[in-house]
Amino acid sequence: MSKEHWDKSFSDEDFVYGERENAFIHDMSKIIRDQSKVGCFAEGEGRNAVYLARLGHDVTTYDQSTIGLEKTKILANKNNVDVETVAIDLTSEKVKTNQFDAAIMVFGHVPKENQKFLIKNMIDSVKSGGHIIFEVYSEAQLKYQTGGPRSLDMLYNPVEILDWIKNYKCIHFYYGEAMRHEGKRHVGLGHVIQVAIKK
């Protein structure tokens, strides 16, 4: 999806995915060591980045939407934390490698042809021994109609993800249903893929 699409998507006055962190990120944040340098990929309006900054981490957030990044700054100010924001197309531009202690992503909706690059971009940004944590909608989400893209091309296949992470220590992998109430865009029971790996 284009920058224009996401700028339009985030242009509502409210936070379209809410202001609270994703439940999986909340649960898995305990594996990130204190005062880590954390990269948040395809972070949109910044809810997860702000949560991690509130925990005391040094957070950099990446998204192609300048509207989303502006709202990240607003949310950070509201919570009295600092979050560095970077405008970037994560499907074609590489982030600096080996810079973070951990990286996270929540529902990074990109076409299938770009998904492997995005996941590798995130993994490569993390130092050896660091963690990568993400939750995405699976292809099965189409049947649920509770959020996410309405195109199979924008959803993730668990077998492909397992292939992309096979060289790393898998701490958590889940493919199945999860209840999500995140703003007005993710409402109700959905079908997700959850990953936590150690590089």
Domain count, the chain: 1
Q: In angstroms, what CA-CA distances link 191 with 49, 75, 178? A: 23, 28, 6
Average pLDDT of 99-123? Answer: 97
The order of strands in the sheet holding 84-87 is 84-87, 58-63, 37-41, 100-106, 126-137, 186-198, 169-182
Residue 13 lies in domain: 3-198
Tens of pLDDT, residue by residue over 137-176, are 999 999 999 999 999 999 999 999 999 999 999 999 999 9
Give the separation between CA 130 and CA 198, rounded to whole angstroms. 6
Q: How many Å apart are CA 49 and CA 43, to the nearest integer?
A: 7
Angle at 4 between CA 80 and CA 13, to 5 degrees: 40
CATH, residue 30: 3.40.50.150
Mean per-residue pLDDT of the chain: 94
Position 9 confidence tier, pLDDT thresholds 50, 70, 90: low
Find out whether 61 and 72 touch, Cβ atoms under 8 Å. yes
